[in-house]
Structure 1
Amino acid sequence: MSRPPLQALLGFIAAARAGNLTRAAESMHLTVSALSHQIRTIEERLDRRLFVRGARGVKLTEHGQALYDRIAPHLEAIELALAPRRVRRDDALAVTLMPSFASSWLVPRLPRFLSAHPQLEISLQSNIDPVDFSRETAIDAGIRFGPGKWPGVEAVHLFDDWMTPTASPALIERLGRPTLATLSQFPLLGAPGGRWSEWFAKFGGKPPERFVAIFDDSENLHRAAAEGMGIVLGRVTLARPLVEAGHLVELFDERLKTEFAHYLVYPSRSRDHRGLARFRDWLLEEAATYAASDAMTPRRGGAPKKAPAKTRKAASVKRTRAVR
């Protein structure tokens, strides 16, 4: 048998991590065509299909996941061995997170953590792109909204989220307050992959023929609603600060559970980081209190029973597939 196609395996790993051939090709300074050829080389060698290609990128098949699970740990070990060494500091913690989550949830609570751990220096890096811990060795952990399955990382469930129609007081004053039956007659704001159709299917009413505007960024989507542009099917966690400030109003008691949840994620090299351990424990306590609060307890729509506020969630640790 000929030698293993090592360069092609590197391309396969890059595509699996990115979930997108264009981003993977750019990271390897290749054309998409060249990367696709490398992946086909492995597929032909194994006589197995490794990826399913879709509109939003690529996903590993069962055979592709099995190959990734066998190869990725060895590649990560090589990358770590060759990476420039930095002095490990347990009193310094670098965390990447979505800008919207930072401003709406973490930053308002962070003073409590820093007050309890004044010796710990925390660096927050806002980023919407997937994080590759094997390459970004200066990052210790991340907070992401997603399925809880990412390659080569441990994922600790923090809390679920909910969606509900939300509008500005100015829009309500101008157009009146909608009912479930009349909601679609009001200006609605959309998002790629939005879930308005599921809302109407669950709670009644007819979906609109068009949206007044569509946004691909959650923070701008909620801000547009606060400016009175239209009604957003808002995520409670992102909308809450605007609701508390009086810029938005939740229109109904009904809520739709989000497809994804909030997770703390980190690579195996961060397991023994004492600063991260303190941050993780604090996050779980804050998340449990928040999940049990009135703000996160829907009164209708199949909501779970309210948990005791002081109950600490057990860490749900998983290994798996692509961090967003």
Structure 2
Amino acid sequence: MMSLHAISELNSSVVLIMSDLHYSLEQLLAFQYVADDMSFKKAAEKLHLSSTALSHRISKLEKLLEIKLFERKTRAISLTPEGEYLYKHVQNGFMTIQKALNDLQQKKQKMFTITTTPPFASEWLIPYLPELQALFPQVIFRVHASYDPVNMLTDQYDLAIRYGLGAYRDLNTELLVNDEYVAVSHAFFDENTLDWSTVPLIHFSWGEEYCPLKINWQVWYQNQGMQISAGQRQVFYNEENHAIQAVLSGQGVALLSSVAINNYLKHGTLKVISPFKLSAMNYYFLSRSNEDEVVNKTKAWCREKLFSVIDCEPSATWIN
């Protein structure tokens, strides 16, 4: 058993080396590894050190403390009473440090970036984002809205929701929802007075170089054997959100994505004024192959939120 005098000496030694503790942490860790298995050989393997380097660290610690920590025998070693005393406290110390590191890692906030089209961001992400944030308190969500092609392999984005045909290479591509374009007006528009040759037309275009399908009023009219009149009032926007606001303010009628305007149709602020629809592209999830829990749960949340409102069944079709 360790004497009170020996304990007092050890405590005094520890106090003396506190100012040089940054020099002794490696030695203390080496000491713990040796004491854990009572083996210099096993400790050296775990620490990826040579036996000589490990013995040097233990000797340096004993010299620094001016205390013998191990009884070295021919084929075995054992702790001295002072070594047992130090071992108990070193163990507790490193366990406390490890726990602190684990706690910090768990509390560390992660930035998670979702990139999607402006209409999907404004209609389906931003209004419900607090719900998603509540699922992941330690995640900071960033929403990036753009129609531009996205390079998921740069690690700049964690999840993409894109509007297209699904031909995305080298990515996990999952169909989220099918879409179609419908002619809509504001809620108080009188269909009985509708004249397709004079009604003001609201257009929007979003980088048609990326869109192989022509979805516009010209195609809509042609498919019904009609044409836009020469003097017909028209206005053009480059954002679908702006076109939606123009319709809501009574500026005319627009050809819009049924997914983008679903909430407006549900609440009766917009209405469909023609049964004729144009087939469109679809919304897809794009992600890298190494999906983590946040990616998978965010996709599940998006799908659940979307199909709790839209009158159709969710799709689980995998393209790649």
Normalising by structure 1, report the TM-score. 0.54
Query: Does 2:221 match 1:200?
Result: yes
Q: CA deviation at 1:177?
A: 2.2
CA distance, structure 1, for counterparts of residue 163 and residue 249 of structure 2:
25
Query: Does 2:129 match 1:103?
Result: no
Which residue of the partner structure matches residue 166 of structure 2? 148
User: Do 1:148 and 1:157's aligned partners in 2 also have CA atoms closer than 8 Å?
Assistant: yes
Q: CA deviation at 1:233?
A: 1.1
Which residue of the partner structure matches residue 191 of structure 2? 177
Question: Matched residue of 2:167: which SS?
Answer: coil
Considering only CA atoms, is the larger Rg found in Structure 1 or Structure 2?
2
Which residue of the partner structure matches residue 184 of structure 2? 166
CA distance, structure 2, for counterparts of residue 92 and residue 133 of structure 1:
15
In structure 2, the gaps of 5 or more residues are 1-104, 206-213
User: Do 1:222 and 1:238's aligned partners in 2 also have CA atoms closer than 8 Å?
Assistant: no
Which residue of the partner structure matches residue 125 of structure 1? 144
Structure 2 matches for 1:174-253, cutoff 5 A? 176-178=190-192, 182-192=195-205, 193-202=214-223, 205-209=226-230, 210-244=232-266, 247-252=269-274
Amino acid at match of 1:189: I
Which residue of the partner structure matches residue 80 of structure 2? none
Which residue of the partner structure matches residue 318 of structure 2? 316
User: Do 1:155 and 1:266's aligned partners in 2 also have CA atoms closer than 8 Å?
Assistant: yes
User: Do 2:215 and 2:280's aligned partners in 1 also have CA atoms closer than 8 Å?
Assistant: no
Question: Matched residue of 1:103: which SS?
Answer: helix
Query: Does 2:161 match 1:138?
Result: no
Which residue of the partner structure matches residue 25 of structure 2? none
Question: Matched residue of 1:233: which SS?
Answer: strand
Structure 2 matches for 1:249-264, cutoff 5 A? 249-252=271-274, 254-264=275-285
Amino acid at match of 1:164: V
Question: Matched residue of 2:221: which SS?
Answer: helix
Cα distance change of structure 1 residues 247 and 197 upon mapping to structure 2, 3 Å threshold? same
Specify which structure has the higher proportion of helix.
Answer: 2
Deviations 1:229-270 (A, max 9, x none): 211012222223444565433223x152442111111233xx
Between 1 and 2, higher relative CO (CA 8 Å, sep ≥ 6) is seen in 1
CA distance, structure 2, for counterparts of residue 288 and residue 242 of structure 1:
15
Paired residues, number = 205
CA distance, structure 2, for counterparts of residue 237 and residue 215 of structure 1:
19
In structure 1, the gaps of 5 or more residues are 1-86, 294-305, 319-324
Amino acid at match of 2:169: P
1:267 to 276, 288, 293: 288
Q: CA deviation at 1:133?
A: 2.4
User: Do 1:161 and 1:257's aligned partners in 2 also have CA atoms closer than 8 Å?
Assistant: no
Cα distance change of structure 1 residues 316 and 178 upon mapping to structure 2, 3 Å threshold? farther
Amino acid at match of 1:225: V
Cα distance change of structure 1 residues 120 and 191 upon mapping to structure 2, 3 Å threshold? closer
CA distance, structure 1, for counterparts of residue 299 and residue 157 of structure 2:
15
Cα distance change of structure 1 residues 93 and 255 upon mapping to structure 2, 3 Å threshold? farther
Which residue of the partner structure matches residue 298 of structure 2? 279
CA distance, structure 2, for counterparts of residue 92 and residue 107 of structure 1:
16
Which residue of the partner structure matches residue 25 of structure 1? none
Question: Matched residue of 1:272: which SS?
Answer: coil
Query: Does 2:131 match 1:112?
Result: yes
Amino acid at match of 2:128: R
Cα distance change of structure 1 residues 243 and 285 upon mapping to structure 2, 3 Å threshold? closer
Q: RMSD of aligned C-alpha atoms?
A: 3.1
> 278-287 or 226-235, which moves further after superposition?
278-287
User: Do 1:190 and 1:211's aligned partners in 2 also have CA atoms closer than 8 Å?
Assistant: no
Q: CA deviation at 1:157?
A: 0.7
Which residue of the partner structure matches residue 36 of structure 2? none
Q: CA deviation at 1:207?
A: 3.9
Q: CA deviation at 1:131?
A: 1.7
Q: Percent identity?
A: 20
Question: Matched residue of 1:214: which SS?
Answer: strand
Deviations 1:273-314 (A, max 9, x none): 2210111222233344444x2xxxxxxxxxxxx54xxxx532
Amino acid at match of 2:203: G
